[in-house]
Structure 1
Amino acid sequence: MKNLLTSLALAGLALPTLAATAAADAASAPAAKKAPTAQQVRMETCNAQAKEKTLKGDERKAFMKDCLSTSKQEKQQTKMKTCNADAKTKALKGDERKAFMKECLSSKPAA
């Protein structure tokens, strides 16, 4: 009985050490590499361009903000494609289509 209690006590003391070792091994194992997101790719490109232009301070900040934001034209093109697809799905023609497109393109995008 005494040996059993001693064994359990030693096992209890060793468990946190084993858990810490396992956690350290898991942390040091290389994480599976994920493909970069579109924003990450854009960030890389914008950083490279800013470095190329040797921009610093407020000038760099303004450049990065402009570079990273989706342009107004891209947003409008995306909206146009969506509205066209919706009009086609609804089989709208003539004045109905014009009215629908006007409403669709003038409305604010859903947040």
Structure 2
Amino acid sequence: MKMLHAPLLMIGLLLCSQGFAATAQQNKMTTCNAEATAKSLKGDERKAFMSTCLKAAPAADAAKPMTPQQEKMKTCNADATTKGLKGDARKAFMSECLKKK
């Protein structure tokens, strides 16, 4: 009887997992597929479109605001580039710059 519990539990988990929300990749695939269908693309033309569409960055990510840490990194990196720092000097500068408030 104990041997029967584990397989039944696994089957139950597999069946339940079908009800979870689609992943971002699945959503992207659905959107790209719908666009290709709306444009009546077929064959190689459809393959090329799907490839380009799936590689494209989602619009939501582009509009996402940067965190304060990311903004600080961007500023410090720009300053280091302006000063022409490389190697250990750049590492030291970046470390000090990121520690400042």
Shorter-normalised TM range = 0.3 to 0.5
Q: TM-score, normalised by structure 2?
A: 0.47
Q: TM-score, normalised by structure 1?
A: 0.44
Q: Which has the larger radius of gyration?
A: 1
